[in-house]
Structure 1
Amino acid sequence: MPLFDPADFLIPAGLVHVCAAGETPVLHAQAMALSRHALDKSTGPAGRAKLDAEVERLRARLAAFWSVETGDIGLVASVAEGMSLLVESLDWRPGDNVLVDRNEYASVVAPLSLRGVELRFVPMAEPEAVAAAADARTRMVAVSAVSYLDARRHDLAALRAAADGVGALLVVDFTQASGWMPIEASIADFAFSACYKWMLGITGTAIAYWNRARQPGWAPATAGWYSIVTGPRPDYAAKLALRPDAGRFTRGNPAHAPCYALHAALDHHERYDRAAVQAHVQALTVALLARLDAAGIPSITPPDPRRHGASVCIAHERASRVVEGMAARGVLAWNGRGRIRISFHGYNTLSQIDPIMCALTAALSD
């Protein structure tokens, strides 16, 4: 049986939806949430107060979801924006370096690369190699909790130790983890996550976490009206004060509509224990990996569920065509970067493994 009721989602009839790592289907409840946003937006100053109250309520709910304090949670438009804000805030000096995996996602690496920071490519799946590559000029270890490319889970505790060994920041992208497994964000100095995948939200807002206990002096290099403390009118002749918490991540208006949609998603999430969701989706990944192995179809995802996430990835030179062929047979997977990605969430079931395998093997033969 599915853990989530598929009827709660806008999943087209007759389709198997296994592309949570790319986009999850929309909850029917989000239509009502967005209608409520539209009404609040249309009711003048009183409505605007409701919009802002929903943002603050969301920060508190996301903090509980990540087991941290409300003041540590801010909102950005995307992981790329949050990472850029962080990179721009640091006083980089010639010789400073950052350790990243060669296959890390662009939202994490591109802000560093364009800033001209030295990138040292180290396999994050080998914490001992990370520790060996770190030196006194290492400013940051940047990593996804779960790789978008092959669904490999990384040992964040070991990477935390490697970063601490040289006094570096540990920055984590939880996008491929948040929503199906428990998150303890305090392992990181800073962390981010998109919300339109397993979090069941929509694009336009992302989570930004600032570990104020570990990095109490952090401040962004730029600001806007929302990220500063003001009275009726800012005194620009005086030094502007930033908001004292992670609200300083948001420089201008928060994306109110995606916040309303994310509230509806959290209403759904809070009906289920994270450990139960993890057990459900990883039972599906293990079952699919076993079927692929029996069929002689190699996967680049580690078979041990302690080392992989909620996806199964297959490297293939015709990935785009294969995924199109699967869709034509009623199975929605994801493609890109030379691999087929099949991702599970709570609305999927073991009974869907057969149609997934049938669609995959037929598309591979096209």
Structure 2
Amino acid sequence: MRTAFGETFDVPPGYLNTASVGVPSTSTARAVSEAVARWARGADAPPVFDEPVAVARAAFGRIVGAPAERVAIGATVSQLVALVAASLPEGARVLVAKGDFTSLTFPFAARGHTVTEVPLDDLPARAADHDLVAVSVVQSADGRLADLAALRAAGVPVLLDATQAAGWLPLELDWADWVVGTGYKWLLSPRGTAWLACSEAALARTAPLVANWYAGDDPWTTVYDLPLRLAADARRLDLSPVWHAHVGAAVALPWFASLDRAAVHAHTTGLADGLRAGLGLPPAGSAIVSLDVPPEPLLAAGVAASTRAGRVRLAFHLYSTRDDVDRVLRALA
């Protein structure tokens, strides 16, 4: 058991795979377990879950810099990105980073838009020739950070995927047109939670293509019959929630939103850059470290990592410690 930032985690030593699957706090795990137990006893009714959905929605907004009324809920990043892709004019020119996660890029290609891949660092210079820039704030494969200041200055509509950033990187993304993110990685929530924050102008032009009862102006009176009567705010884009996933997110996300962001950033990047220094590499300022090393020595040493783009990917989060750094260094010595 480890303690970090006032929470406890039943995370094993050497667990450096948060970029794939985050480990919940004991508080989050307990909340989900108790909800499942109530389900098993027939003790819950659907309206019970409205509060955790609202709590998690508002907390995601605080984490990325958006009011709750401009945050929609979904189940996956790709499903929410697809709403943006479907709202662009036919044949829109979309600029993306080469090697970015396909849940961000595939929806635009599937819609038939003109999607251009360029190196991550070239995005700001190439943005002016496009209708939208879609990019991950932090690259999944290797942890590189997008130049957000330069993208903002480019003056082109932007969709940011904060999945690999929210939870360790301080974010103020109120300037972006759309910000999407999922909960099961760095936000340490169950899989089945995702959110889309929209600027006021972007919300007005995002089509509610998954319109359903939960996207209604009052979900408990829009269960049956026409006419269409959707919510006036971002809830019009909502997907019916994965109930127990939001129970966990309603514990995890407010906790994240309450933390000292500078302290979280210093802890996570300090460990990652400490590993880089031990390997003779320069600091990168990212919580993700990508190494061109064989994975077998790490696996034998009890290090949980992943392989992405042919390299070992290590992710340092709140529950990571200097012992994890040393374990990797010993394995690779």
Verify same fold: TM over 0.5.
yes
Which structure has the larger Rg over C-alpha atoms? 1
Aligned partners of 1:21 and 1:198 also within 8 Å: yes
CA contact (8 A) 1:123 1:130 kept: no
User: Identity of counterpart residues, as a percentage?
Assistant: 32
Q: Decide whether aligned partners of structure 1 residues 179 and 32 sit closer, same or farther in structure 2, where only a CA change above 3 A counts.
A: same
CA contact (8 A) 1:98 1:140 kept: yes
Mean CA deviation greater in 176-185 or 346-355: 346-355
CA shift, 1:67, in A, is 2.4
- Corresponding residue for residue 144 of structure 1: 136
The alpha carbon displacement at 1:191 in A equals 1.1
- Would the aligned equivalents of 1:88 and 1:220 in 2 still touch at CA under 8 Å? no
- 2:11 aligned with 1:8, yes or no? no
Structure 2 match to 1:266: 253
Structure 2 residue matching 1:129: 3-state secondary structure: helix
Q: Distance in 1 between matches of 2:222 and 2:70?
A: 26
Consecutive unaligned residues of structure 2, counting only runs of 5 or more, are: none
Misfit runs of 4+, over 4 Å: 39-46, 232-235
**Do the aligned residues in 2 keep the contact of 1:281 with 1:310 (CA within 8 Å)?**
yes
Match of 1:54 in 2: 52
Contact 1:104 1:143 in 2 (8 A): yes
Q: In the aligned structure 2, how far is the partner of 1:272 from the partner of 1:128?
A: 31
* 1:216-258 deviation digits (Å, cap 9, x = unpaired): 343323411212336466553x4x232112212223x201111
The residue aligned with 2:78 is 80
Match of 1:97 in 2: 93
Superposition deviation, residue 100 in structure 1: 0.7
Instruction: State the secondary structure of the residue aligned to 1:242.
Output: coil
Relative distance call for 1:128 and 1:259 in structure 2 (3 A) is closer
Return the alpha-carbon distance in structure 2 between the equivalents of residues 56 and 145 of structure 1.
25
Check if 1:108 corresponds to 2:96.
no
The equivalent residue for 1:196 is 184
DSSP-derived class of the 1:207 partner? strand
Instruction: Point out where structure 1 has 5 or more consecutive residues left out of the alignment.
Output: 294-298, 317-321, 362-366
**Contact (CA 8 Å) 1:98, 1:120: kept in 2 or not?**
yes
Residue 74 to residue 30, structure 1, CA distance change in 2 (3 Å) = same
What SS does the corresponding residue of 2:312 show, helix, strand or coil? strand
151 and 332 in structure 1: CA distance in 2 versus 1, 3 angstrom threshold = same
Structure 1 7/178 Cα, relative in aligned 2: closer, same or farther at 3 Å?
A: closer
Offset at residue 214 of structure 1 (A): 5.1
2:314 to 300, 325, 342: 342
Instruction: State the 1:143 CA deviation.
Output: 0.5
Call closer, same or farther: CA 1:232–1:343 in 2, change over 3 Å. Answer: closer
Q: Which residue of 2 aligns with 1:315?
A: 292
2:120 aligned residue (103, 121, 124): 124
Tell me, in whole angstroms, the C-alpha distance in 2 between the residues paired with 1:346 and 1:48: 33
Q: Give TM-score scaled by structure 2 length.
A: 0.89
